[in-house]
């Protein structure tokens, strides 16, 4: 038999006992649907977070700190206190009590800049502006210097240009109306005023052009991004009156590298940093910590789907064993007429695979439908506070993997009945009752 004839014969045999086939398909359907839904939620959340990660900063930047030796990390509190080193200053950082961060100076910048592939090193200055003002009142803000390319999800305009000599900022969308503009487009290209105080408490103001509006962040802070020119100007004001030694100390520096670097090349930079007693983290690394947790949750949910599929697998075995039993004579006849055992095996295997295909295809389709409905309800209801989130996302790759995976499982389940069919003795099968 040709493959197409095998497939057609298998398909028509399947639909001959409709109820039985339908029930077997239902079992597969439930498993496929569960797995697709859990993965859809996982993918949806991850792709949302991916967009949000942009608000944490550019992806081609390493955040570098000095490694606090002998403690396994700057914030480790599991070992005894670290011996005092008069050459190494440290500060107690915010956050958890006991966190100690070591202080870096311009020598560290030179050392880090000498690592291959590092294109620039900039210390993270603690910028604390007093307020931002548009055409209306004054509002508090937290600013973050933009390094590398913009990855924040922009909803109007574009991100700040790091190399521009103009003072530029980009603002989160919840600032737009407070600054006195009716919509996101209206504020792009307009000037705003930022006020900042020096060490003596003397307040000065700086003008900056708004280049764009980014989506309000859920992960990370809803920061106002500033370009280098503006950051330098703000820091110049803020550090006025500070002793030189204080102005030149910082706990964190940001090193940029070409965005085209591969993961392996980035790893090389990191190990070079480690060798020099620094530890560097990209945004991706922070993201991975979150993603690992999400993946674990998804795997747990997937287990439910897998258990459903496992039960469904026995359904396939059962259905096909019955089918083989019922069609003993048909099998015997086909063998007598010259059909090879291999082809008989193929015939029943195709039936199993078809059950897997229909179950998984329908399950995936139904899950996609449910996802669409939930997303639609969600954006207008319980997900209103998460703009840009579609809770369920179904990439083609996942769908194909689920369907093909289940077809493979179904094939494996079908091997026992198919083997039994292929081994039937035509004489026994055709013997009169």
Partner 1 sequence: MNSQTAIATKQVNKTYGKGEAAFTALSDIDLKITSGESIAIVGKSGSGKSTLMHVLALLDRPTSGSVLVNESNASDMDGRQLDVLRNEEFGFVFQQFFLNANETVLDNVILPLKIAKVGRRERNERGLKVLASVELEDKAGSKAINLSGGQKQRVCIARALINNPSIIFADEPTGNLDSQTGKTVEDLLFRLNKDQGITLIIVTHDADIAARCDREIHIKDGKLTSKGEI
Interface with partner 1 (CB under 8 A): 1-2, 5, 9, 12, 16, 329-330, 332-341, 343, 426-427, 430, 432
* Helix 341-380, helix 18-53: angle, nearest 10: 50
Q: Residue 385 CB, nearest distance to partner 1 (Å)?
A: 58
Query: Which residue lies nearer to partner 1 by CB, 296 or 337?
Result: 337
Query: Which residue lies nearer to partner 1 by CB, 37 or 339?
Result: 339
Dist CA 314 CA 322 (whole Å) = 12
Backbone φ and ψ for 277, nearest 5 degrees, come out as 75, 25
Q: Residue 14 CB, nearest distance to partner 1 (Å)?
A: 12
Q: Residue 335 CB, nearest distance to partner 1 (Å)?
A: 8
Query: Which residue lies nearer to partner 1 by CB, 231 or 346?
Result: 346
**Which residue shows structure tokens 């922009």?**
154
Q: Residue 345 CB, nearest distance to partner 1 (Å)?
A: 13
The candidate with the shortest Cα–Cα distance to 407, out of 342, 351, 366, 344, is 351
Q: How far is CA 108 from the centre of its chain?
A: 33
Query: Which residue lies nearer to partner 1 by CB, 5 or 285?
Result: 5
Dist CA 14 CA 355 (whole Å) = 8
Q: Is the dihedral of CA 419, 423, 424, 428 positive or negative?
A: negative
Query: Which residue lies nearer to partner 1 by CB, 208 or 347?
Result: 347
Q: Residue 418 CB, nearest distance to partner 1 (Å)?
A: 17
Dist CA 224 CA 55 (whole Å) = 10
Q: Give the count of beta carbons closer than 10 Å to the beta carbon of residue 7.
A: 17
Query: Which residue lies nearer to partner 1 by CB, 273 or 344?
Result: 344
Q: Residue 402 CB, nearest distance to partner 1 (Å)?
A: 33
Q: Residue 355 CB, nearest distance to partner 1 (Å)?
A: 19
Q: Residue 4 CB, nearest distance to partner 1 (Å)?
A: 9
* HEC string for 251-318: CCEEEECCCCCCHHHHHHHHHHHHHCCEEEEEHHHHHHHHHHHHHHHHHHHHHHHHHHHHHHHHHHHH
Q: How far is CA 417 from the centre of its chain?
A: 42
Query: Which residue lies nearer to partner 1 by CB, 218 or 333?
Result: 333
Query: Which residue lies nearer to partner 1 by CB, 84 or 432?
Result: 432
Question: What is the widest separation between alpha-carbon atoms in the chain?
Answer: 109
């Amino acid at each position: 038999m040709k493959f197409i004839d095998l497939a057609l014969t298998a398909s028509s045999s399947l639909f001959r006992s409709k109820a039985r086939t339908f029930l077997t398909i239902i079992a597969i359907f439930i498993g496929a649907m569960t797995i697709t839904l859990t993965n859809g939620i996982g993918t949806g959340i991850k792709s949302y977070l991916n967009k949000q990660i942009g608000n944490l900063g550019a992806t081609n930047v390493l955040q570098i700190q000095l490694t606090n030796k002998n403690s396994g990390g700057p914030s480790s509190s599991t070992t005894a206190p670290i011996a005092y080193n008069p050459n190494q200053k440290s500060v107690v950082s915010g956050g958890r009590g006991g966190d100690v961060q070591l202080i870096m100076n311009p020598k560290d910048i030179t050392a880090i800049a000498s690592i291959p592939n590092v294109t620039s090193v900039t210390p993270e200055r603690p910028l604390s502006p007093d307020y931002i003002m548009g055409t209306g009142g004054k509002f508090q803000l937290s600013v973050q210097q933009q390094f590398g390319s913009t990855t924040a999800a922009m909803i109007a305009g574009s991100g700040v240009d790091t190399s521009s000599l103009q003072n530029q900022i980009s603002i989160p969308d919840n600032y737009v109306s407070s600054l006195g503009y009716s919509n996101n487009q209206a504020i792009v290209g307009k000037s705003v005023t930022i006020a900042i105080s020096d060490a003596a408490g003397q307040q000065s103001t700086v003008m900056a052009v708004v280049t764009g509006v980014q989506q309000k962040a859920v992960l990370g802070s809803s920061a106002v991004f500033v370009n280098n020119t503006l950051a330098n100007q703000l820091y110049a004001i803020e550090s006025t009156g500070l002793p030189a030694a204080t102005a030149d100390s910082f706990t964190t520096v940001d090193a940029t590298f070409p965005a085209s670097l591969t993961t392996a090349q980035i790893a090389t930079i990191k190990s070079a940093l480690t060798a020099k007693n620094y530890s560097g983290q990209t945004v991706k690394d922070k993201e991975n910590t979150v993603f690992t947790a999400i993946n674990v949750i998804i795997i747990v949910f997937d287990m439910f789907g897998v258990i459903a599929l496992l039960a469904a697998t026995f359904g396939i075995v059962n259905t096909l064993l019955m089918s083989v039993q019922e069609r003993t004579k048909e099998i015997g006849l086909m063998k007598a007429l010259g059909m090879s055992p291999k082809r008989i095996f193929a015939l029943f295997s195709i039936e199993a695979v078809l059950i897997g295909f229909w179950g998984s295809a329908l399950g995936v389709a139904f899950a996609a439908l449910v996802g669409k409905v939930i997303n639609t309800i969600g954006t207008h209801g319980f997900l209103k506070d998460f703009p840009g989130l579609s809770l369920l996302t179904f990439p083609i790759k996942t769908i194909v993997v689920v369907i093909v995976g289940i077809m493979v499982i179904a094939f494996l389940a079908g091997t026992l009945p198919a083997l039994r069919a292929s081994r039937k003795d035509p004489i026994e099968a055709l013997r009169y009752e």
